[in-house]
Amino acid sequence: MATTRGSARPYWVALRYMIVATIVLGIAYPVAILGIGQLALPAQANGSVVTVDGQPVGSSLIGQSFADDDGNALPEWFQSRPSAAGYDGAASVGSNYGPENSDFIAEIEARKAAISESDGVSPDAIPVDALTTSGSGLDPHISPDYAYEQVARVAEARKLPETDVKGLVDAFVQGRDLGYLGEPTVNVLQLNVALSQLAG
């Protein structure tokens, strides 16, 4: 009998440890972190959701398409950076093309021609982020250069003064993180939400 009790003891210890670990690490810790997130950073903890009239229209962390059902860019909206993931938050992916890949070069040339025609600008003046996808395929930002390049098209499509649309872009340029990290950016969804309000 003593031998039986001795051999069963490690199983009982392991079971108790599993119960305690499940309660502490599987329940108490996640609940504590959830509570801290909801108290300290509720917007970020809930996915940085952007709402219009109380209805969610997207997340400021995930890029989205402003195109029709056929994939044609809608001229009245600022356009996001191209996405190899199709702006699918569950399918983050880059194109993984090398710079000399023929498919990659063809995509760049096609985008360059489309933007040049829609925005009425020289192909050489189009910013690189308008032509290439990001590593994640979900980048919600574009460069200020690309935002300003779209001002004339958006203003014309919405019949708004160009100065008003440019002023809106000015207001949404985000500086470098901590003043020196990265590059200035513009969040396309937030800019388009403000644009819709500007246009009434």
Domain residue spans of the chain: 2-42, 48-198
CA 3, 6, 11: angle at the middle one, nearest 5?
130
Q: Which helix (H) or strand (E) holds 174?
A: strand 173-174
Three-class secondary structure of residue 181 per DSSP: strand
| Model pLDDT for residues 95-150, shown as the tens digit of each residue | 788 888 898 899 999 999 999 999 999 999 999 999 998 888 889 999 999 999 99
200: confidence class by pLDDT, cuts 50, 70, 90 = low
As a whole number, mean pLDDT of residues 142-165 equals 95
Instruction: Report whether 151 contacts 164 (CB < 8 A).
Output: no
Pairing of strands 173-174, 49-52: unpaired
| Model pLDDT for residues 56-74, shown as the tens digit of each residue | 888 888 989 998 888 888 9
Query: Is the whole model's pTM more than 0.85, yes or no?
Result: no
Give the CA dihedral 108, 93, 62, 180, nearest 10 degrees: -80
- Return all residues near 148 (Cβ < 8 A) that are at least 6 apart: 166, 169
Q: What is the pLDDT of residue 199?
A: 64
- Structure token digits, residue 142: 């574009």
